[in-house]
A and B are shown apart, each in its own frame.
Chain A
Amino acid sequence: MIAKLEKVSKAYSIGDQTLIALQPTDLEVREGELMLIIGPSGSGKTTLLSLLGCVIYPSEGKLWVDGNFVNEMGQKQLSALRLNTIGFIFQNFNLLAPLNAQQNVLMPLQLMGHDKKSSLVKVEQALTLVGMLDRKNNLPKQLSGGQQQRIAIARALVTDPKLILCDEPTASLDKDALRIVMTELRSLAERGKAVAVVTHDPRLKEYAHRIIEVNNGVVTETLDFEQ
């Protein structure tokens, strides 16, 4: 188990009002499975993903990621936890526009302080894994949506994270690119990573090992194909 939520809830204050984005939730995220988080817009999917990604603190409850008790960790420790344990794949890829594909993938290793020579070897391996080595010198704007998402996957994988979090990773992709990206994510899960994917897209269900449905901040249903 890479992450555990115990009665975790999240509330946001908007002016005088308090919006409960996630009701108290118990959840475990396990290695070796691709977990799909589905639900309508504003249901709390992204809040759940943000909690798993340690980019926000829970309002109530307890959250552990990779054995670390997140509630009590400082910003600096959380940055280190995200860097070393979690790989992020975003809906809009979020590649750094001035950097080419290779430099984008290199960035997390630079943040970790790895030496450039060994980092470049890892970058080449990650780009090879997603079939983008030949486009390593291209800037993001010179790549299609599918290609950019593969670069983003390479960036998420280059640090060999235990947990991969994807926010609508196929929203901007056509059918063929969707298949390539989801096959890659499924294969990562089968190689022992924990993969959590937030989506609206019902076509992704066929790639999931497990499906979590979120409605009005409540995790209402869990489909676990493995069981």
Chain B
Amino acid sequence: MSVFLIGQQSGIFMFLTNSMAALVKNNQSYIWVVDDKTTNVNALGSIDIRIGTELQSLKGVAHVFPLVTAGVSAKFRNGTSAGLTLIGVQVPEFAGGPWDMFSGKKEVLFRDGAIITDYFNSNALGNLAPGEYFEINGKQVFNAGLTKGVDAFGGIYAFTTIERARYLANMNTDKASAFLVQLNNEQNEQDVIRTINNHYFGVHAWSGPELTKETIFTVLATSGIAFSFGTIIVFALIIGFVIIGLTLYSSVIDRIKDYGTLKAIGATNSYIRNLILTQAMIIACSGFVIGTIVTEIFRKGIATTGTIFSYPLWMRFAFLLITLVIAFFGSLFAIRRIIRLEPGAVFRS
């Protein structure tokens, strides 16, 4: 049960942390230039478009791609509506997305009114079908293509061209949310970041991995997510510890006569300790296998709703290690009980 709870909560936590920084995580190769107040890619401020032109002139910079993000309201044919995070990218480079295309190509964005949404968000978007028309901020657009598993943190991403995004979101054409800077091959990324941060007022440059980390840290620090998941995981650990502890302790109490007999006929405390530890490790390994199977069923089940995550190998090893540690500490009560058992008790039973 502990393995399942820890696996389940860690998986969902991983999914959320992935989605927290999905935009930057899927565009890690660029330097991200954003306003200097922002440490969260989900809350980008506006920066002047002229900065992009200036960045283009920096030594080692190959291209600068503007990107806009905007919260918009969408209304669908079945009468429902939903909030979208609209991402406008420069075409035909598509720096900033979309990624993980499932149906259609990115180039469909060339078509007038084209928007790309995500396969798993169809229900939330009024059962929006491919090719179907809907409205964004009262302007007609159509669902031109689908990504699969592209999730925003607490929202829904929709991609379009930067010009169309500005039009749909009523944004000024002299503003962008971020600039994605592509370097020449030989250029050192940190040098360019340092130059931008030293010479440009009102903006801050981040490497992709740095902004990813900072975004996750900012979201976790300003929300109760880490505390909430952490608490559940701690409780799962306690539950596992108590269950294994009680199971082993009660099994030792049930067989106290056998352990007394073993001690009387010459078994040492270390022999009996190893015996109980072996039982604990068998319980832990069996629990780990069962927990892993149940977690995997859960993972596959929840993936059909778009909550997609996978456990890296190190995490699976960590689950096994945690299970073994729980079993080890859980067995200490039983071991303590047996070590304190006098072999002479066997004559009094």
| Chain A residues within CB distance 8 Å of chain B | 46, 49-50, 53, 55-56, 75-76, 79-80, 82-84, 88, 90, 92, 94, 96-97, 107-108, 111-112, 155, 167
Contacts and interface: CB of A to CB of B under 8 A. Distances in A.
Interface string B72-86: 000000000000000
Interface string B253-266: 00101101111111
Nearest to A78: B343
Contacts of B257: 92, 94
Contact of B342 (A49, A56, A92, A108): A56
Interface residues of B, number: 21
A49 B348 CA distance: 11
Interface string B41-57: 00000000000000000
A167 B265 CA distance: 13
Given A49-B347, A56-B342, A92-B349, A82 B266 contact: yes
Given A94-B258, A94-B261, A111-B262, 18 more contacts: A46-B347, A49-B347, A50-B344, A55-B342, A55-B347, A56-B342, A75-B269, A76-B269, A80-B268, A82-B264, A82-B343, A83-B267, A90-B261, A94-B264, A94-B346, A97-B258, A108-B265, A155-B265
B5 to A, nearest CB: 32
B271 interface: yes
Given A50-B347, A56-B344, A96-B258, A108 B264 contact: no
Nearest to A93: B261
Question: Could you say which of B258, B260, B262, B347 has the most chain A C-beta atoms within 10 Å of its C-beta?
Answer: B347
Contact of B266 (A56, A111, A167): A111
A136 B104 CA distance: 73
Contacts of B266: 79-80, 82-84, 108, 111-112
Given A75-B269, A94-B257, A111-B271, A53 B264 contact: yes
A146 to B, nearest CB: 19
Nearest to A57: B344
B265 A55 contact: no
Interface in B196-243: none
14 contacts: A46-B348, A49-B347, A53-B264, A55-B263, A76-B269, A79-B266, A79-B268, A80-B266, A83-B266, A92-B257, A92-B349, A94-B346, A108-B265, A111-B271
